[in-house]
Chain A
Amino acid sequence: MHELAVCQGLMSQVEQIAQREDAESVTRILLSVGPLSGVEPQLLADAFPIAAAGTVAENARLDIDTQPIRVKCDTCGAETDASANRLLCGSCGDFRTRLVSGDEMLLMSLELERRERA
């Protein structure tokens, strides 16, 4: 399982941003993760406390938004729902589709508490 490695990558980004923003702590982390990202949201959530321990985001809440799998057909142009191992056009059945959403693995936003300035 590589979710811990992914989580450690996330934490180093979070720490960089917190430092740049002169934040005292990170209170919330919002991710967007699709079923085709290769990352399992629950495993990511399990790995988070381990990766976050001792960092500026130690007490942060981790929220993970999952995205639906949607495809757009190159042949008929329809945009339809799909499943992870069946990405065919839901309208005409053609396999020549492109993913519209469902493979995201993004850090969307952070909520920070800034240091009090004297």
Chain B
Amino acid sequence: MCDTCGCNITDGNRHLIEGDGKLAQTESGREAITVLKGLLSENDHTAAHNREHFDRHQVLALNLMSSPGSGKTRLLEETIAALKDEFRFAVVEGDLETENDAQRIRDKGVTAVQITTGTACHLDAHMVHNALHEIDLEAVDIVFVENVGNLVCPASFDLGQHRNVTLLSVTEGDDKPAKYPVMFRAADLMLISKSDLLAVLDDFEPERAERHLRELASRAPAYRISARSGDGMQAWFDWLRSEFAAMRERVQRGETVRPAIQPDGQHLHDHNHGHGHDHSHHQRATGHSHD
């Protein structure tokens, strides 16, 4: 979130602060203060802090989002099994209740921290920050954050991840990207999961799912995968490898990256004047505490 250079001002809201815009008016005896900050700027500061942690330790952080039951944990189990000699993994699991998913990951010999959110429908940057205290990032190459299964709320909260991976299982509708545009716009990669079941389903067309994704102006790749049969998993593994290599190169250059789309007009940062804003949060006198 950039609060300094004025790039929050978009064509959509410029009229509010220019000329006779509403912000220019001051009711008598009262003072108007222009703020122009994201509503979640406190979360965003913690997220930026998390991202700095990941970058400092040269760790790639990936946020997995989807409906409940689309196969996120199964995907992680198979990914860990296949790549355990290549990468050192850690997993942050988000669920309303139970340690079940963390236990499944631990059974694979990987550190897993379970966040139980109670009734909260999403993870936020503070929860992830606390979970990171239980992970030795020096001993990790890739951190997966498995978000709460939900196609709505998790999309609004930056956790400090570098990339968003959104799963769409073939037992859901292929129009999910059209129904949940905020979520699918945020995807840097869409995985059409459980593709081995396509043979017995007559109403899910992967091409249609991808077309709905393109209609959101998304350039994210869409891979069909089956963690169960192994089909298509190589493309996912190659994506992980290339993202990991790209992260290492970025860190060498002293740069970081956030998911392609974030709320708050982050698209303006795509024009490449945004590098470095994420690092300014240390200048804040107040905010989250960390040690």
Footprint of B on A, CB under 8 Å?
A: 1-2, 5-6, 9-10, 12-13, 16-17, 21, 23, 27-28, 30-32, 34, 36-39, 63, 65, 67-68, 70-71, 84-88, 95-114
Contacts A2-B157, A23-B31, A97-B217 aside, 8 further interface pairs with beta carbons under 8 A come to A2-B122, A17-B35, A67-B12, A71-B217, A85-B181, A87-B216, A98-B217, A105-B263
A85 to B29, CA, bound (A): 44
Q: Are B35 and A109 in contact (CB under 8 A)?
A: yes
Nearest CB of A to B16, in Å? 6
A1 partner residues in chain B, CB cutoff 8 A: 121, 152-153
Q: Are A100 and B12 in contact (CB under 8 A)?
A: yes
Q: From known contacts A38-B155, A104-B13, A104-B264, infer whether A109 and B32 are also in contact, taking CB-CB under 8 Å.
A: yes
CB-based contact A17/B22 at 8 Å: no
CA distance A104 to B261 in the complex (A): 12
Q: Is the CB of B41 within 8 A of A13?
A: yes
Contact digits for B103-134, partner A, Cβ 8 Å, 1 yes 0 no:
00000000000000000111010000000000
B139 interfacial by beta-carbon distance below 8 Å: no
Chain B nearest Cβ from A43, distance in angstroms? 11
Q: Give the interface of B toward A (CB within 8 A).
A: 8, 10-13, 16-17, 22-23, 26-27, 29-43, 120-122, 124, 152-153, 155-157, 177-179, 181-183, 185, 212, 214-219, 261, 263-267, 270, 286
Minimum Cβ distance to chain B for residue A44 (Å): 9
List the B side residues contacting A110 at CB < 8 Å: 32-33, 35
Q: What B residues does A39 contact at CB under 8 A?
A: 39, 156, 263
Inter-chain contacts of B214 with A (CB < 8 A): 95
Task: Give the CA-CA distance A13 to B267 in the complex, in Å.
Answer: 23
Q: Is the CB of A38 within 8 A of B32?
A: no
| A103 with B263, Cβ < 8 A, contacts A37-B182, A71-B217 known | yes
B264: chain A residues at CB < 8 Å are 37, 103-106
Taking the closest CB of chain A, its distance from the CB of B258, in whole angstroms, is 14
| Distance in angstroms between the alpha carbons of A71 and B261 in the assembled complex | 14
B117 CB to nearest chain A CB (Å):
11
Contact present for B156 and A108 (CB under 8 Å) = no
CA distance A101 to B185 in the complex (A): 14
Task: For the complex formed, measure the closest distance between the CB of B104 and the CB atoms of chain A, giving whole angstroms.
Answer: 27
Please give, as numbers and ranges, the residues of chain A lying within 8 Å of B178 by CB-CB distance: 85
| Shortest beta-carbon distance from B142 to chain A in Å | 26
Selected from B8, B212, B218, the residue in CB contact (under 8 A) with A106 is B8
Q: How far is the CA of A47 from the CA of B34 in the complex (A)?
A: 23
Q: List B contacts of A2 (CB < 8 A).
A: 120-122, 152-153, 156-157
A12 cross-chain contacts in B, Cβ below 8 A? 42
B15, closest chain A residue (CB): A65
B217 & A101 in contact (Cβ 8 Å cutoff): no
A48 CB to closest chain B CB, in angstroms? 12
Task: Determine if A36 and B37 form an interchain contact, defined as CB atoms under 8 angstroms apart.
Answer: no
Minimum CB distance partner of B266 in chain A: A103
List, in ascending order, chain A residues with CB within 8 A of B267's CB.
98-99, 103
Closest to B179 in A: A85
Q: Are A107 and B36 in contact (CB under 8 A)?
A: yes
